[in-house]
Amino acid sequence: QLQLQESGPGLVKPSETLSLTCTVSGASLSSSGYYWGWIRQPPGKGLEWIGSIFYSGSTYYNPSLQSRVTMSVDTSKNQFSLNLSSVTAADTAVYYCARRGPNSGYSYYWGQGTLVTVSS
């Protein structure tokens, strides 16, 4: 059974970099055909797609965040990561990691989500 688990600081200071890791169990990150990604949800608001990464390292980012986002994979640890730089209070959200279906734009498997608050 595929499981994803987000980890990282729950509190980040304004202007600093938010860093999260998603640990995958039950499947190999290097399985062909799957994109792994991040989606966020500000408190009480809707869902925003941040970006996706293939096991090879190829990425798609949301243009609204592209200048501040970096994603990477570590197949040896079966993990992928999100870095979001120069954060502001507007980046306060629950961050979910997820896996898309094979050659699909839909997220079939999700982590439980982790709340990241940006505050001094």
Partner 1 sequence: DIQMTQSPSSVSASVGDRVTITCRASQDISKWLGWYQQKAGKAPKLLISATSILESGVPSRFSGSGSGTDFTLTISSLQPEDYATYYCQQAKSHPLTFGGGTKVEMK
Residues that bind partner 1 (CB under 8 A): 46-49, 52, 60-64, 96, 98, 101, 104-108, 110-113
The CB-of-113 to partner 1 minimum distance in angstroms stands at 6
The CB-of-120 to partner 1 minimum distance in angstroms stands at 27
Could you give the dihedral angle defined by the CA atoms of residues 49, 51, 52 and 57, in that order, rounded to the nearest 10 degrees? Answer: -170
Cβ distance to partner 1 smaller for residue 76 or 114: 114
Number of Cα atoms under 13 Å in the Cβ half of residue 42? 9
Cβ distance to partner 1 smaller for residue 62 or 70: 62
Cβ distance to partner 1 smaller for residue 14 or 26: 26
Token look-up 């986002």 returns 69
- End-to-end CA separation in angstroms for the chain: 39
